[in-house]
Amino acid sequence: DIVMIQSPDSLAVSLGERATINCKSSESVLYSSNNKNYLAWYQQKPGQPPKLLIYWASTRESGVPDRFSGSGSGTDFTLTISSLQPEDVAVYYCQAYYSAPYTFGQGTKLEIK
Amino acid sequence: EVRLVESGGGLVKPGGSLRLSCAGSGFIFNDAWMSWVRQAPGKGLEWVGRIKSSADGGTADCAAPMKDRFIISRDDSKDTLYLEMNSLKTEDTAVYYCATVSAGRLAHWGRGTVVTVSS
């Protein structure tokens, strides 16, 4: 099974500043048959279910603000929030989803500095 | 609008059983692959398993820690997903979410149902 490791475990960033979260998979999630990275990012705010933000490593889900972006390929990925807003306080998870089990990273808690 | 509503959670003793349901609406349920994810108190997300659409074979897979105790099924005539949980352990205490699976990613989520395993 693929193991997903996120870094850091927690992060405090000032409002308006950039936040960067990393995710590393134990094996490549890039599949040569379609040249797609099977990597998603989710946001979970307190008391709420997770919400899909990014899929195919860099495609924003409909309605997600463009300050959120995803990058990376193969085994190393990054979620970037270009200008942190108060409503971005949450826990963020990466997930590999090519085949079962669809493993999640351990989560990164993002707070305001 | 896609809507998923989980039900069936509650307090159960260790060794007991419980069946969770997830009612879907706002999408063509019988075309959808579906998944269960759980979250223990104060912990991260843990993938429980998923079931393919009937057109894709309808097979279900569960994560290794649960595969001998949990069964995922669906009733497309009722637009409902199920999670049957047997031989429950205290470590199964969690919020259980259902979600739609779109090319593997979990696109839409319910609000979850709470399962507490305690004597």
Predicted confidence at residue A99, as pLDDT, reads 83
DSSP state of A104: B
* Model confidence pLDDT, tens digit, residues B31-52: 999 999 999 999 999 999 999 9
- The residue length of chain A stands at 113
Type of residue numbered A78: T
In sign, the C-alpha dihedral spanning A31, B73, B58, B113 is negative
pLDDT at residue A98 greater than cutoff 90: no
Provide the 3-class DSSP secondary structure of residue B38. strand
CB within 8 Å: A52 and B64: no
pLDDT at residue B103 greater than cutoff 90: no
Predicted confidence at residue B28, as pLDDT, reads 97
Question: What does the pLDDT average to over A48-66?
Answer: 97
Residue B14, min C-alpha distance to chain A (Å): 26
pLDDT band at B92 (very low <50, low <70, confident <90, very high): very high
pLDDT band at A80 (very low <50, low <70, confident <90, very high): very high
Question: What does the pLDDT average to over A45-73?
Answer: 97
Torsion of CA A90, A42, A62, B29, to 10 degrees: -130
DSSP state of A100: S
SS (H, E, C) A68-88: EEEEEECCEEEEEECCCCHHH
- pLDDT mean across residues, chain A: 96
Asked if A104 and B44 count as a contact pair (C-beta separation under 8 A), the reply is: yes
Other CB atoms within a 10 A radius of the CB of residue B112 amount to: 23
Contacts of A100 in chain B (CB under 8 A): 47, 49-50, 61, 63
Contacts of A48 in chain B (CB under 8 A): 111
Integer angstrom CA distances of residue B113 from B20, B52, B75: 8, 22, 19
The lowest-confidence range among A40-44, A86-90, B64-68 is B64-68
pLDDT band at A57 (very low <50, low <70, confident <90, very high): very high
**pLDDT above 90: percentage of residues in chain B:** 97
Type of residue numbered A96: A
Q: From CA B111, how far away is CA B116, in angstroms rounded? A: 16
pLDDT at residue B87 greater than cutoff 90: yes
Q: What is the largest CA-CA distance in chain A?
A: 43
Q: Is B106 on the interface with A (CB under 8 A)?
A: yes
Predicted confidence at residue A87, as pLDDT, reads 97
CB within 8 Å: A104 and B47: yes
Residue with structure tokens 């999408």? B27
Provide the 3-class DSSP secondary structure of residue B77. helix
